[in-house]
Amino acid sequence: MAIFKIIVLLLSLSCFCQAQLSPTFYDQICPNALSTIRSSIRTAISRERRMAASLIRLHFHDCFVNGCDASVMLVATPTMESERDSVANFQSARGFEVIDEAKSAVESVCPGVVSCADIIAVAARDASEYVGGPRYAVKVGRRDSTTAFRAIADSGDLPSFRASLDDLSDLFLRKGLNTRDLVALSGAHTLGQATCVTFKERLYDNSSDIDAGFSSTRKRRCPANGGDTNLAPLDQVTPNSFDNNYYRNLMQKKGLLASDQVLFGSGASTDSIVSEYSRNPSRCDITN
């Protein structure tokens, strides 16, 4: 089972928090916190399978902007711009209502105890498990931000679907993550969907980095004129399962986003990492 990507994704990002975190943080003050969150998240994903990918992405977008502090949940006010309205999140970030539902459920058993930041982190883990990924301990004890950071979100802290390999590498390096981390984290795109506007130009520019048959299939969903909001799975083989087909797709020039395909085919160091993970996903182990 390809379990490595989500482990790196969640645990690497969670280290951005400065608090002293522990898997047992709520054991005494709210012993039913994690089970309550899990039940709420499973209900949400059972209603819509795609929500698993959305919750994992929401956690990533929260953590990459000023740490895992739930600042992405804050709505705009007259004195504060919201991260939700940033270029990378506007009309694409999803799952806010699921986190709100989980928060309400936890509040009913432990009022004023569990942070939204912890709920987002735990929700991503529970979402991973629901679609075939691992279940593992999440360190909790975060506190929620009272301020959003849209300017940071718009300044390049969140990867663009058009980003080059150099841009991605520089961005991850600023977060203390290396090239191997970049490839592992990108593997979260084994789940979810993307709107045509994020990849359509690749289909029609006669690019050599995309398989012709794959491109032809995607054109049916994404016509040259129109259809920008139509959706296509990031992994057309197993779009709702957590596995390592993402890497196999890249090796076949079937990466949907330009920022995915740049990880393989250029002769850069990421080529060998993608190849390695396509054969043996367990090679990516944060304990090594």
67 among the known binding-site residues?
A: yes
Instruction: Determine the Cα–Cα distance for residues 83 and 89; give it in Å rounded to an integer.
Output: 7
62 among the known binding-site residues?
A: yes
Query: Measured in whole angstroms, how far is the alpha carbon of residue 99 from the centre of its chain?
Result: 15
From 5, 57, 61, 103, the catalytic residue: 61
146 among the known binding-site residues?
A: no
| 16 close to 68: Cβ distance less than 8 angstroms | yes
65 among the known binding-site residues?
A: yes
287 among the known binding-site residues?
A: no
Q: Which two tokens stand for residue 101?
A: 């539902």
Asked if 61 is an active-site residue, the reply is: yes
Half-sphere exposure at residue 11, Cβ-oriented, CA atoms within 13 angstroms: 19
189 among the known binding-site residues?
A: yes
95 among the known binding-site residues?
A: no
Return binding residues for Ca(2+).
62, 65, 67, 69, 71, 83, 190, 235, 238, 243
Which parts are annotated binding residues?
A: 62, 65, 67, 69, 71, 83, 159, 189-190, 235, 238, 243
Residues labelled as active-site residues: 61
Known binding positions for substrate: 159
